[in-house]
Amino acid sequence: MRLDIKHLILVIVSLSFAAVAANAQGKATLVVAGFDRKIVDEHKQLFDMSCIPANVEMVLKLTGHEPVNYFKLQDAWSTKTDGNFADFDGKTIAGLTFHHRFKDKRDKDFPLKRLFSVIDKELSSGRYVIISLQSGKNAYHMHTIYGKDADGDFVAITKSGSKASGAKTVVVPHLKELITQMEGTDILKYEESEPVKQKK
């Protein structure tokens, strides 16, 4: 019986994750199945403050719900400076319904273990997680968690946070340490409400 359970666990993990060779930047050894670095590299952050819609667009592209030339969310956002994950909370876009989670106050009482558990669950289910990470004093930039390293820590990817360099892809490893130093953060997760439409 134990062997059967172990085999089942291995099958489930293999369906949700794809093993890849360690890379020099993020050292991601397990990534969400279907992750395509080329899609990320072709994506752009169009405006200085459009990192939230830029990451939502990236997830829509990585999941096959929108084509690589999709930038409607950033075009609508434009130079908006007062936006946050709440702008996408409960919204369904191209078959994905997004949910803003962990709005708790960032302090020593933040539920870090529960946050890490939720991220683990999402990755194991084959879903990306958009996360807010501190990029400077009172400054934050959005990233998309796409995998884990050999130690089980999270690895994220994003586009550089400015209009001038928005085409540059940046990989950020060791997220658990960063999030712990921040005393917590919020995330944007999603569920598939409509399957990807097959191209004719």
In a domain, 199, yes or no: no
- Residue 198 counted as domain residue: no
Q: Is 71 contained in some domain?
A: yes
* Angle (deg, nearest 10), helices 112-124 and 175-182: 150
Containing domain of residue 54, as a range?
Answer: 2-192
118 part of a folded domain: yes
| Rounded CA separation 191/196 (Å) | 12
The enclosing domain of 119 has a CATH number of 3.90.70.10
Which ranges of the chain would DSSP assign to H, the alpha helix? 2-16, 37-42, 51-62, 72-77, 112-124, 175-182
Q: Is residue 197 part of a domain?
A: no
Residue 43 counted as domain residue: yes
Mean pLDDT, the chain, integer = 86
Number of DSSP helices (H) and strands (E) in the chain, helices first? 6, 9
The predicted pLDDT at position 43 comes to 96
pTM (two decimals) = 0.84
Provide the domain count of the chain.
Answer: 1
Give pLDDT tens digits for 107-125. Answer: 999 999 999 999 999 999 9
pLDDT tens, 127-161? 999 999 998 888 899 999 999 999 999 999 999 87
